[in-house]
Amino acid sequence: MEESLTEVEKLMQEAFRCIHSDMLTDAIDCFDKIIELEPSNDKAWTHKGKLMSMLAVNSREGGMRTIMSIERMSNDQKRLLKEALKCFKKAIDINPKSDYAFQNQALTLGRLGRKDQALESNNTATELNPNNFEAWIQGTSWLINLGRFEETYECCKRAKQMSGLGMLDHNLKLGFLINFVSALVGLKRYEEALVEINRVIDLDNKVALAWAKKGQILFCLHRTGYLEYFDNAIALEPDNELWKELKSDFL
């Protein structure tokens, strides 16, 4: 079966095998070869940019990639992010209707601390493809980061009214629901936030962030016992200093 594949298709398969094995540099090499064969392959440019952006934030905690703040990045990391932006620009020049390119461009802009531009790029992605629910979720993250909680709430409401949320994978759905909770907390609608965070925990009780959020909400509601929820977060991720810092703050 593989013998009938074109060279580009073989390279694409190899690239995704490398990504699955967390061999990002090797995957980028595959996309470089695809670009040599097909310079106008916008998907290859987008995938290359996405991987370069991932490499720039290649710190790992608990087996997961984590996004560090721009202040903690080295010049080499910033250079990689800027190179990634060049890849997205190329992809968009080739295909101005690529929501995937705009979505990943937004993520990279956000990693560079250019949050307003990130939101603008992400909005373009959802305008081009209203069914790109990953971009919808990403957009709510930028709005929260910018402290625009009313807009976050409206964005979450609109996304909830669309039929595609039920099709999201588990992690994306959790991310959306936690962002919805964050919007409610930002609007000081703590009783509603408590209902929603309990739904998140019912969906998956292994998410440390959800337990920490519940502790925060109970503190804001002047309820007792809120510290135990920070303890739950610490128990789930004992190496994550954030939960210990949050518990200390709320003490």
Identify the burial level of 227 via C-beta atoms within 10 angstroms of its C-beta, where 0-12 means exposed, 13-18 middle and 19 or more buried: middle
Q: Does domain 2-95+161-250 have CATH number 1.10.8.50?
A: no
Q: Which run of H or of E encompasses 172?
A: helix 170-186
What confidence tens digit (pLDDT) does each residue in 148-175 have? 999 999 988 887 777 556 667 788 888 8
The confidence score (pLDDT) of residue 165 equals 63
User: Each residue of 126-142: pLDDT tens digit?
Assistant: 999 988 888 888 888 88
pLDDT above 70: residue 3: no
Alpha-carbon 246 to chain mean position = 22
Q: Is the pLDDT of residue 209 over 60?
A: yes
Secondary structure of residue 218 in the 3-state scheme: helix
Q: How far apart are the first and last CA of the chain?
A: 62
Do the Cβ atoms of 215 and 181 come closer than 8 Å?
A: no
Q: Nearest Cα to 60, choosing from 85, 24, 92, 91? A: 24
Confidence of residue 62 (pLDDT cuts 50, 70, 90): very low
pLDDT at position 70 is: 60
212 touches 243 (CB < 8 A): yes
Cα dihedral 195, 65, 110, 50 sign:
negative
Q: CA 153, 157, 158, 159: dihedral to nearest 10 degrees? A: 100
Structure tokens at 60: 């790992």
**pLDDT tens-digit profile of 78-132?**
999 999 999 999 999 999 999 999 999 999 998 898 988 999 999 999 999 988 8
**pLDDT recorded at residue 250:** 82
Question: Can you name the residues that pair with 59 across neighbouring β-strands?
Answer: 66
Helix, strand, or coil here: 59? Answer: strand
Q: Please tell me the distance from the alpha carbon of residue 164 to that of residue 108, in angstroms, as a whole number.
A: 25
pLDDT, tens only, 33-57: 999 999 999 999 999 999 999 988 8
Q: Hey, what's the torsion of the CAs at 113, 114, 116, 121, to 10 degrees?
A: -120
